[in-house]
Structure 1
Amino acid sequence: MRWWALMLLAVPGSAYAHAGHEHAEAPGWTFDPLLVLPLLFALGLYLLGARRLWQRSDLSHPAQRRTTRLFVSGLAVLALALLSPLHEGGERSFTLHMIEHELIMLVATALLAGSGAGGALAWGLRKSWRSLPAGAPARLWRAVTEPVTATVLQAAALVAWHLPVLFDLALRQPAVHILQHASFFTTSLVFWWAMLHARGDRSRYGVSALCLFVTSLVGGALGALMAVSNSPWYAPYAAMPLTGIGLQPAADQQLAGLIMWIPGGLVHAGAALVFLHRWLKAAETSHAPVPQQ
C-alpha cells in the first residue's frame, strides 16, 4: 500500500491551483486533539500493558514481538490516514477521501485485529479495572464478533455512509465526519477480528471465506457503481469546478470508485482464498486415513 501514502504526501500545491483553488493552500497535517489524543492513549496503554506482560514472561518470545509489530504498524497506518495531508485533502477530492477510508478499513484495522493485542491493552489498565467482571460487555463482544454478524454490521455501515444524504452531511459537519470514521473503524475492526479469530471447528475457515467473498461483492458493487456513474453523487464535490487533484468531479468519483472496487475487492477476495485453502486443507486432513498400528 506504499503507493497510496506516496500519492498523498506528494500532492503538490500546483494541483490545487490547477483545480481552481489558486489561493488555496496544499493540504497539511491535522493535529486535532480529538484524533491525536486517542491515538496516543492507545499507544501508551498498549506499551504499558505489554511491558507488564513481558516482565512476567520471556522477553524474546517471538509471538510477543509479532504482536507488538502488528499493533504499532496498525496504529501508524491509522495515524497516517487521520493525521496526514490525506485527511485534509479528502475534503477537496473524493479520491483522496476514498484512499483514507481504504487505509482505515483494509490496512489499519486488519493489522490491529491481527495483533490480538487485547491482553496487552487490558494489562495496561489499573489492576482494579482489570478485575472487574466482564459480564454484558463480554457477551456483546462475542455476539458482534460472530463472522456473519460482523459482516452484516460492516456492510451496513459501508452502504449507509455512502448514501448522499449522510456523506454530504459528513463533509459539511466535522462532528458527523468523526462519527463516520469511528463507524468505519469500529465495524471493520470487529469484522477483521471475527475473520482472524473465529471460534469453532474447521468450518470456521469456510464461514470466514464466504463472509470475505460477500464483503468483496458489497464493496466491489458500490465501487463499480461509482466508477461507471457519469455524474457526481455528493454535492460538496459536485460544486467544485475541478477537485483537489485536478480532475472534474465525475472523473474524481470514478477514480475513487475504481480504488474501492479493484484494490478493495482484491484484498477481501485474496483473504477469502486464503481461508478457503485452509478450509480445504483442514477437511483433507480430517478425512485422511488413520495409520494402522
Structure 2
Amino acid sequence: MPFCGTPIDGSLWSSWNIPLLILVLALAGWYWLAWHRRQDSGSAGEGSGEVGRKVSFYSGLALFYLAAGSPVDYIGHMYLFSVHMTAMAVEYMVVPPLVLLGLPEWMVQPWMRVRGIERLVRAVSRPLFALTTLNLLFTAYHFPSVFDYLMSHGSVALWVHGVMMIAAFINWLPVIQPFSGVKRLSELQKIIYLFVDAVLLTPACAFIIFSNGPLYVAYDAMPRLIPSLSIYVDQQLGGIVMKLTQEAAYIGAIVYIFVQWTRREKELDRRDKKGQLVFFPVDKDGVHGANTW
C-alpha cells in the first residue's frame, strides 16, 4: 500500500515497510500483554480454545504484514497485477476473520463500553450495510480510471486501502462478533449472508477476467517481471485469484459455522436427554406405560 506508484531504488529488500512492522508488533504486544494480565489475575484459561485464538490472531497479523508491508506489496504495485490482487484478497478476505476469531469477548467488551462505540458497532454491523460497503468500494476501486489514478497517487491510495481494510472488518462482523450486546445472526442467516456476499463480488471479478483487453494503463509502462506473462493474462489471473480466494475463505467459514452449529445442537440434545425424567406408571390394567417428561 505505501508504495503505490512510487519507484523504490535498490533491492526489493528495501521495500519492507518498517513503520507498518512496528504497528503490527505493537498490536501483537498488546494482545500478548492482555492474555498475560488475565493469567496473572487468576482468571481461568480456555485450554485449547485459548491456543486456537492466539494462533488465529497472530496468523492474521503475520499475513497482513506479508501482504501489505513486504516486497509482495511492492511487486504487486510495480510489476504484477495478479500479485496485487492476491495481496488484496489476503488482506480483505483472510485477515479479518482470523483477527476477529482471535479476539475473546473479555478483551473486546471494555472497548464496547466507551461512549458511542457500541452504538456505532450496532450501526455498521447491520447486514445490509456490512454487505454493500466493501463490495461497492472494491468495485469502484477497480474502475480503470480510478485504479490508474490511485496507482499514480500513493498517498491517496494509502488512505483508500485503509478505508477498505476497515470495510473488510465490517464485512465480517455479522458473521464473527467477539462481543455481546449486538444482535447476532443465526447460523443459517450467516450462511446465507456469506453466499450473498460472494455473489456481490462476482461482477467486479468477472469484469476483470472477461474484459476484451488490458484495463489498466498503470501496468503498461511497467517492466515485465515475468516476460512470458502478458499484461492481459496477468490481469485475468488477478481476477481469478481474487475470486478463488474469496470462495475458499467463505467456504471455510461456512464449514466452520456448520460444524459449530452441529456441535451445539448435539450438545443441546444431549442435555435435553440427560435432563429428562422418565417413569413408567402402571395403568388400571396393571400394564406399564411409558411417559417421558
| Cα deviation digits, residues 56-111 of structure 1 (max 9, x gap) | 22357333222211111110111111122211101211001001001111221110
Match of 1:18 in 2: none
Q: Does 1:253 align with 2:253?
A: no
> Which residue identity does 2:101 align to in structure 1?
G
One-letter code aligned to 1:196: I
Contact 1:151/1:191 (CA < 8 Å) preserved in 2? yes
The sequence identity of aligned pairs, in percent, is 23
2:130 is matched with 150
What SS does the corresponding residue of 1:195 show, helix, strand or coil?
coil
SS of the residue 1:90 aligns to: helix
Contact residue 45 and residue 121 of structure 1 kept, 8 A: no
Q: Which residue of 1 aligns with 2:30?
A: 45
Pairing 1:174–2:161 present: no
**What is the count of residue pairs matched by the alignment?**
261
Partner of 1:243: 224
Render the CA deviation track for 1:183-222: whole Å, top value 9, x for unaligned.
2321112222321239657x62222222211221122332
Rounded to whole Å, the distance in 1 between the matches of 2:169 and 2:31 is: 17
* Mapped contact 1:171–1:236 kept (Cα < 8 A): yes
Larger Rg: 2
Q: Residues 277 and 133 of structure 1: is their aligned pair in 2 closer, same or farther, counting only changes over 3 Å?
A: closer
Q: By how many angstroms is 1:133 displaced?
A: 5.0
Amino acid of the residue matched to residue 230 of structure 1? N
Unaligned runs of 5+ in 1: 1-23, 124-129
Identify the residue that residue 165 of structure 2 maps to in structure 1. Answer: 185
Q: Output the amino acid matched with 2:225.
A: G
Rounded to whole Å, the distance in 1 between the matches of 2:260 and 2:105 is: 25
Counterpart of 1:219 (choices 189, 201, 204) is 201
In structure 1, C-alpha distance between the alignment counterparts of 2:236 and 2:194, rounded to whole Å: 24
How far residue 277 of structure 1 moved from its aligned partner, in angstroms, is: 7.7
Partner-residue secondary structure (3-state), 2:226: coil
Contact in 1 for aligned 2:85/2:238 (Cα 8 Å): yes
Alpha-carbon distance in 2 for matches of 1:213, 1:157: 19
Residue-by-residue CA offset, 1:130-153 (whole Å, 9 max, x unaligned): 7x9522122101221233321122
CA distance in 1, matches of 2:255, 2:232: 34
1:1-36 CA distances to partner (integer Å, 9 max, x unpaired)? xxxxxxxxxxxxxxxxxxxxxxx8663363334422
Instruction: Label 1:267 to 1:175 Cα distance change in 2 as closer, same or farther (>3 A).
Output: same
Mean Cα displacement is larger for which, 217-226 or 28-37?
28-37
C-alpha distance in structure 2 between counterparts of 1:256 and 1:209, whole Å: 26
Question: What pairs up with 1:71-150 in 2 under 5 angstroms?
Answer: 71-91=57-77, 92-117=79-104, 119-120=106-107, 133-150=113-130
CA distance in 1: counterparts of 2:85 and 2:250, whole angstroms? 16
C-alpha separation in 1, matches of 2:86 and 2:193: 23
Answer yes or no: is the 8 Å Cα contact 1:243–1:252 preserved in 2: no
The residue that corresponds to 1:19 in the other structure is none
Amino acid at match of 1:72: Y
Seen in structure 2, the aligned counterparts of structure 1 residues 283 and 223 have a Cα distance that, compared at 3 Å, is same
Quickly say closer, same or farther: Cα 1:266–1:55, change in 2 above 3 A: same
CA contact (8 A) 2:16 2:71 kept: no
Displacement of 1:163 in angstroms is 1.9
Could you say which residue in structure 1 is the equivalent of 2:13?
Answer: 28
Going by fraction, where is helix more abundant, 1 or 2? 1
Change (3 A) 1:197 1:164: same
**Which amino acid is the alignment partner of residue 245 of structure 1?**
I
Amino acid at match of 2:160: Q
TM-score when scaled to structure 2?
A: 0.75
* 174 and 71 in structure 1: CA distance in 2 versus 1, 3 angstrom threshold: same
Q: What secondary structure is seen at the aligned counterpart in 2 of 1:233?
A: coil
- Partner amino acid, structure 2, of 1:138: E
Displacement of 1:53 in angstroms is 1.5
Q: Structure 1 residue 263: deviation in Å?
A: 3.1
Cα deviation for residue 283 of structure 1 reads: 9.2
8 Å CA contact 1:29–1:88 kept in 2: the answer is: no
